[in-house]
Amino acid sequence: MQIFHRSTNTLSRLSIFGALGVVGLGLWGLAVVNRSAWVTHQDEAREQPVQFSHKHHVGELGIDCRYCHTQVERAAYAGIPPTKTCMNCHAQIWTQSPILAPVRDSLKDDVPLEWRKVHDLPDYVYFDHSVHVAKGVGCESCHGRVDRMNQVWQASSLHMEWCLDCHRHPERHVRPRDAVFEMGWTPDADREALGLELMKANDIHTRTDCSTCHR
């Protein structure tokens, strides 16, 4: 004696495959959200205690990155300039500008300005600026065209796959060391051919293991 109607088999299959489809769709949705700017904060400008314009200082005045980020060639961190670095110029120019009041107060009260990190990697990720600079990775490769930014935003996703793409194909990104701090640099020769030459000259390899970044 048949208890269930024959159509029950079809309903069972639809239920099983439907459930699998819903789970798969959910996982796909999570992956999309995880890669979205809502999570990565890509292209998002951060509010700062003083609205310092890289476009003005770097793009228009031509100030070298290393004037403010003094540690970038010898330490893991590029460094944030102390208030005195700002006042080297602003003790002479724009001395009464309202927008610079927090800078003057910081110097007077000897209290550092609390700048918000824009490119903020997770605590479990180790990144060394000095190594990348020494090997010929330009500031622009990670930070974007800061010389065009009034407020700096995160130019890239900073996902692990984004980092690995560069580590697997460094010839697409490395440049001569004297061009590391140059914005808008373009090679005179074929980019990848020059990159392969620089890889040999600077002892750059594509070997990457987990402990390189996760220590």
Cα(189)–Cα(193) distance, rounded to whole angstroms?
Answer: 8
Instruction: Pick the range with the lowest mean pLDDT from 31-35, 56-60, 175-179.
Output: 31-35
Residue 14 has pLDDT above 80, yes or no: no
Cα(22)–Cα(27) distance, rounded to whole angstroms?
Answer: 9
pTM, entire model = 0.82
Q: How many other CB atoms are there within 10 angstroms of residue 64's CB atom?
A: 10
Residue 7 has pLDDT above 90, yes or no: no
CB contact at 8 A, 113 and 103: yes
CB contact at 8 A, 158 and 39: no
Confidence of residue 134 (pLDDT cuts 50, 70, 90): very high
Mean pLDDT value across residues 102-126:
94
Mean pLDDT value across residues 131-137:
96
Confidence of residue 4 (pLDDT cuts 50, 70, 90): low
CB contact at 8 A, 93 and 190: no
Mean pLDDT value across residues 36-63:
91
Residue 1 has pLDDT above 70, yes or no: no
3-state secondary structure of 188: coil
